[in-house]
Structure 1
Amino acid sequence: MSQSKVWLITGASRGLGFDMAKIALKAGHKVLACYRNKRPQDTPKWDELEALGGIWTQLDVSSDDAESKVKALVSEHGQIDVLVNNAGYAILGSVEDVPLDKVQAIFNTNLLGTLRTIKGVLPSMRERKTGTIVNISSSNAFDPVPALGIYNATKFAMEGYTETLQAEVAAFGVRVLLVEPGSTATEFASETGTGIRVEPSKAYQEGLVKQVSDFLSSEQYASMGASSITVAERIVEAIDGTGSMAGKEIGLRLPLGKDTGAGLGKKATVYTDLANLRDVWGSI
């Protein structure tokens, strides 16, 4: 068992966030499990986490006061050793159809929300010269899917600043981990969960966008994904250096899921092809 640490996990009231909280608690950690606005409706989940020692904490990462609330949690609990930025949601719809106000809203949560919490924990981590920041991205960041263009964009943006963050905070002893899960059995894109589906305009009522949207919001898709519990276990093990991750050198990125392999292969081919265009980029 690794040394007990204080974890703060956003978006912990359901899905992957809840499973990570539960597994981290069973690994001996103290966990602040964040929910957005209201007490989770599934009372057994609430009770289950509390029975394991979890502390439910209200935190809306899209709110302007999220940074100050996280700083208050650092003061209240003495430290935050591991921040897991898990809160987020998906929008299903073509790039053309998604209204700009919905684009702004999802960026406010999926991107700016992670920056608010990082700004909340980083001063303390720098001062103590220790800490781990985990950003939950997606395999869509290297293998984008039609009908998820705006969601994909939030993850591309997250990956961009996370690469930079890693370089900036390494000298302070702070570790940064970018988790890239593939299909996972959660309500990620379902309207019964946190997903939003935009009504398609006439041009997109048939064809690829509708087909992908229907599939991603179906029970069939949810049942095909990797077990959320297993994905959560791998993340906790990668952070702690235990279990299947013991002795492994985990760098910035942690891709998870058998379906991520095809996407990684396609991206590798893209960069190989670009590297082979030496007569083009080398001509400048």
Structure 2
Amino acid sequence: MERVKQNDTFDIMKAIMALMITVIHIVALNKLGILGIFMFPILRTAVPLFFMISSYLFFSRINLIKSYEEQKNYLHKAIKRNLQLYLLWFIILSPITFYIRDYFKNGLLNGISILIWNFIAGSTFIASWYIMALVIGLITVFYLTKKFNNKSVIILSILIYIFCVLTSNYGNLPVMQMTHGLLSYWTPYNSFTAGIIWIVAGKIFAENENIFYFGATKQKIIIVIMIVLLYLEQILIVYLNSSYATDFYFMLVPLCLALFALLLKTNLKNSRAK
């Protein structure tokens, strides 16, 4: 995706966040006891920040394009680039993917239908849901905000996010037991639904970089307070034994918004960042 300008801060943060996501995927945190349980919340900030960086760069560029047709052309280029990335890694990882997922154990047509569903609303190769979530999310937010105002789209994204959180860290609550059948073939917190709120946030930041920013000192205090509240939520989740999956927390929203606002005001320079 074409950059509005070179941003070493984003590149450095993406390297750090990639390591954070790697830890989630390769380390058996659940087997580390209380230490593992309390590593999850802070690690889960990485994916939202990735979404917001991609969305911010996309809509920053879109905002410089006056023609609606040219904006759509740029959207199509972004979609094409991400789908090419998806296809490349699908091919590279296909031997492992088909061995692990065993798509065709119940027949060719059943396997193809599952593969198509996973491509659109889940993941084929491991963690591929993010690329499709970004593609579908950018399309959704782009066209919704052409038809409706930001406020309406924000409200919709919050409702979708609440559903993702409830099926994730609160999925084992008695009131959520009815969703377990749904979660056996679709996990909203690892699908395009998971990215909508962060892509909307990236668009808002692209339109107003000062939103959610209250000055360097206050911003850092706010971030610390949000981290404390995030861990208090984790304590509540552990106490309730409500976690079905560890992907989403309510307190990720204010924390990640505050973090991203600070990132936009941070000007790191490194010749090797890109």
Higher strand share: 1
Q: Same fold (TM over 0.5)?
A: no
Structure 1-normalised TM-score?
0.30
- Which fold has the larger relative contact order, with Cα–Cα distance below 8 Å and residues 6 or more apart in sequence? 2
